[in-house]
Amino acid sequence: MLDTLIKNGKIYNGLGGKPYKKNIGIKGDRIETITSDEPPASKLIDAIDLAISPGFIDMHSHTDFSIKDNPKAESKVMQGITTEVVGMCGFSPAPVNENYFADLMYYFTNTIILSKEEKLQWRWKNLYEFYEEIEKKGTSVNLAPLLGYGTLRVAYSGFSNTPNTLLPEEQKKILYQIEKEMEAGIWGISTALEYPPCSYCNVEEIAKACKIVKRFNGIYSTHMRSEHGKKIFTSLEEAIKVAQISGVNLEIAHLKVAFKEGWGKSSEILNRIHQERKRGIEINADQYPYTAWGSSILDFLPKNIVYKGINYWRNYLLKKENRKEIVRFIKNNLEGPEKDMGWEGVVIANTKTKSNEVIIGKNMHELSMIRKIEPEELIIDLLIEKEGYVKLIVFCMEEEDIKTILKDSLVIIGSDGRAVSPYGKFSKIHYHPRYYGTFPRILGKYVREEKVISLPEAIRKMTFMPASKIGLKDRGQITEGAFADIVIFNPHSIIDNATFVHPRRFPSGIREVLVNGKIVVEKGELTSSLPGKFLRRK
């Protein structure tokens, strides 16, 4: 007898073709049969008038920094996401080297707040240890991790005060760690060349690392050195050069064209990607469908000051003459939303707050009016008060570029978000709405309402494409023998409900979500099931 039978639905198999009507029989964690019959099953799911799709695969996720506190992964599974590719933008939870532990904690300041107790427990020497622990405790989603090159560089070279070239011994240790992680089943590496310490890397250093990744058929995901205006073209060439030298499978992270000087140039960027594809480079990009990104208040400081660490720049900013200098620097170096759209386009998403302080969700213009100071002065005050931990939402993209990128055949969907929930530890944080709404937004706004792409093509970008990109076997399509990662949704009502004003809202239209044959969302409600796995490359 089958464990579950899904009947009467319209199956989109993930390959981009037309849907068809059949019944899906599940036994254990696999799809046992796809049939016109109705074999007996312990559980029956009637999907009449609904779409049945492979579970969505989030190609660009940061859930590795929330899954310990949020194993149910509510904001992801409620979107229909069943697998997340994590370890992005140079960040991963491991390896941890005791010699540079303080440096690592400073590096993590840009992505996570850890309590003293959590810091004491943060001691994983490799990614395998971390994900084995997560799998044993249980999670609702599958996790396919990359190794963050930023974390790796800090582990063996520290967080340098100034841009540095690796010493031969440091590079040897880094390359050895990559090899061991790949042997253990990790899927590749990632960088964020816009931020230190990855910003210290040149093409040669990254290519050496990627040659090892290539040997194991892994991938290299890069947050490019710049996504701003015309700078994106030189940044793209740098990423392509790494792939040309190493032969690595290249993924351009969260492809976008930021700031007005670059708006309308998305077609040129995509054409360049297609040129390299035709020349034999395995290159793709991923995208989230919003006109704002996430950033840090530290980005307003000169990089040479940020590199020297929190103790240095905090003391530096406390001196009046230095404060005036930084105010001038911010005013003279404004680009993007502050210049194009005003300070209303920069919103505080998360920070260290006092219990009586209302700051999260306010934009810089509002807050500067409340405090009766200039926005540039406000930035310095917040840097000192919050010890550099102020996460921002920055409006800087143009809608037509979003659509152009989405339509491209080489672009995959990724949220660039972590799994959170509207209650508990994450309930007060004003996250980017992509954390809750990326995949339903594509299917509701861009498929049904605006008809930018077809439903089969959107599903392909969310399922088969990411599975093929990283080499996931038996996932990303509905076929006999595949793992039973399945989402059942209403194509006529699916939509994101999270907004920039109210970001902690689940989407509408997702009815059932199954991970490895177990139901994690039933009739639109979360279950307590934790069937997710640590996926290892084989």
215-265 pLDDT tens trace: 999 999 999 999 987 899 999 999 999 999 999 999 999 999 988 888 999
With respect to residue 511, please indicate whether it lies within any of the assigned structural domains. yes
Residues 199-213, mean pLDDT to the nearest whole number: 98
Number of domains in the chain: 2
pLDDT of residue 340: 61
The answer to whether residue 258 sits within a structural domain is no
In this structure, the answer to whether residues 300 and 391 fall within a common structural domain is yes
Q: Evaluate whether residue 371 is within a structural domain.
A: yes
Q: Which residue do the tokens 């011994």 mark?
A: 169
Q: Is the pLDDT of residue 162 over 70?
A: no
Residue 429: inside a domain: no
Strands 219-223 vs 249-252: parallel, antiparallel or unpaired: parallel
- In the chain, what percentage of residues exceed pLDDT 70? 97
CATH number at 29 reads 2.30.40.10
With a cut of 90, say whether residue 344 has pLDDT above it.
no
Task: Give 13: exposed, middle or buried? Use CB within 10 Å, 0-12, 13-18, 19+.
Answer: buried
- Rounded mean pLDDT of 263-292? 97
3-state secondary structure of 22: coil
Find out whether 517 and 142 touch, Cβ atoms under 8 Å.
no
Residue ending a domain, among 375, 395, 415, is: 395
Q: Residue 8 above 90 pLDDT?
A: yes
The reply to whether 302 and 391 lie within a common domain is: yes
The structure tokens 């309402």 sit at 449
Only one residue has tokens 């200098």, namely 325
- On whether the CB atoms of residues 2 and 41 are closer than 8 A, the answer is yes
Establish if 88 belongs to a structural domain: no
CA distance 86 to 107: 18
Residue 200 lies in a domain: no
More confident residue, 310 or 107: 107
What are 21-36's pLDDT values in tens digits? 999 999 999 999 999 9
| Maximum pairwise Cα distance, the chain | 79
Residue 207 in this model has a pLDDT that exceeds 70: yes
Q: Cβ distance 353 to 347 under 8 Å?
A: no
Work out the mean pLDDT of the chain and round it to a whole number: 94
What pLDDT is attached to residue 244? Answer: 99
Q: Residue 336 pLDDT more than 70? A: no
pLDDT reading at 354 higher than 70:
no
Question: pTM higher than 0.85, yes or no?
Answer: yes
DSSP class of residue 124 equals -
Between 243 and 320, the higher pLDDT residue: 243
> How confident is the model over 127-152, as pLDDT tens digits?
999 999 999 999 999 999 999 999 99
How high is the pLDDT of residue 334?
64
Kindly write down the DSSP assignment for every residue of 389-451, as one continuous string.
Answer: -EEEEEE---HHHHHHHHHSTTEEE---B----SSGGGTT----THHHHHHHHIIIIIIIIT-
Domain containing residue 364 = 296-395
3-state SS, one letter per residue, for 340-370: HCCHHHEEEEEECCCCCCCCCCCEHHHHHHH
Q: Which of 352, 368, 395 is the last residue of a domain?
A: 395
Tens digit of each residue's pLDDT (9 = 90 or more) over 419-453: 999 988 888 788 899 999 999 999 999 999 999 99
Q: What are phi and psi of 249, to 5 degrees?
A: -75, 115
Q: Are 278 and 409 in contact (CB under 8 A)?
A: no
Interatomic CA distance for residues 14 and 88, integer angstroms: 24
469 lies in some domain: no
- Residue 88: what pLDDT? 98
In terms of domains, do 300 and 389 share one?
yes
319 located within any domain: yes
Q: What is the mean pLDDT of residues 81-94?
A: 98
- Residue 18 CA to residue 14 CA, distance in Å, equals 10
Last residue in a domain, options 379, 395, 411 = 395
Residue 310 clears pLDDT 90, i.e. is over it: no
Paired strand residues for 522: 525
Mean pLDDT to the nearest integer, 353-380: 85
Looking at the predicted structure, is the pLDDT value of residue 341 above 70?
no
pLDDT at 163: 76
